[in-house]
Amino acid sequence: MSRTIEEIEGTRGELLRYRKHANGRGMVAVGASVDETATVETNAYVESRAQVGHHARIGAGSWIEAAAIIGPTAILGSNVHIGEGASIGVGAQIGSYSRVGANARIGDGAHVRGDSTIPADAIIGGRGGLARAA
């Protein structure tokens, strides 16, 4: 029988607690909000205070830092890093191996090619305007 909560020691010695998400078995920190219809694939991590909207998809090996917002129906490829406080809009697509810096804003319906780097505090418009909270 598997454990409900996984505990991992962080880089600063703090104890981090995660649970496996039902869709995809990725790790969701205690204090994060991930919709039950979202998919968090294996070896993906969603940190505390992050939000993931309905039907969003987080690819394998991706890392969503604290307080980031992933909008409904957004799709993140494999090994994507979303920085602290960043916002990914409704239906946006982020290609595999991309990096989105802290507090960056990716608009609704925007497409970011794989292996891209979006700097901290950048604003990338989308088809429906700027990203907003899920």
Cα–Cα distance for residue pair 52/9, rounded to 1 Å: 24
Per-residue pLDDT tens over the stretch 34-70: 999 999 999 999 999 999 999 999 999 999 999 999 9
* Contacts with 7 (C-beta within 8 Å, 6 or more apart), sequence order: 15, 16, 17, 18
Using the 8-state DSSP alphabet, how is residue 90 labeled? T
* 94 band by pLDDT with thresholds 50, 70 and 90: very high
Residue in 68, 29, 55, 23 with CA at minimum distance from that of residue 42: 23
| Domains with residue ranges and CATH for the chain | 25-124 (2.160.10.10)
Residue 10 pLDDT > 80, yes or no? no
Give the C-alpha separation, 78 to 67, whole Å.
Answer: 20
